[in-house]
Amino acid sequence: MLETIINDVSGIFRATFLAGDWIALLIAFGSVLVASLFMQRGTQIGSMTLLALVLFAVGGFFRGYFRGAPTDGATQGDRAVTQLETSWLHFMDLQAGTLLAYFIAFMFLILVLFGMRSVIGR
């Protein structure tokens, strides 16, 4: 069980932060950076990880919204609703282990950046 979780976390970490296109990497690192800058104490790691995941999801939504060209006759509202439905369905298809892996990967990077900020700030 523990080996499965570690493999899931390392796979999510590699897929999100080490492989992928530049826009996805920018969204992921930007959300982690913002969350680590907002973090005041180490006890806020849970809420800051959730903040980073929400920022990552919102960034992915906007990326999908602005990526494609509008179809004929579709309004901006139609595109937003379609992208929101697509994003929600993608979220609902995620397994609990994958969500946990995202949480752990983001938490690890936030802790690293917060630790570096704390050491440099002293």
Residue 39 has pLDDT above 80, yes or no: yes
The pLDDT, as a whole number, for residue 60 is: 86
Average pLDDT over residues 10-20: 78
Residue 21 has pLDDT above 90, yes or no: no
The pLDDT, as a whole number, for residue 69 is: 66
Render pLDDT for 55-82 as a digit per residue (tens, 0 to 9).
Answer: 999 998 888 888 766 666 667 777 788 8
| Long-range contacts, 88-91 (Cβ 8 Å, 24+) | 91/57
Helix (H, G, I), strand (E, B) or coil at 7: helix
d(C-alpha 22, C-alpha 28), whole Å: 10
Place of tokens 């903040």: 51
The model's pTM? 0.81
The pLDDT, as a whole number, for residue 46 is: 92
The pLDDT, as a whole number, for residue 37 is: 93
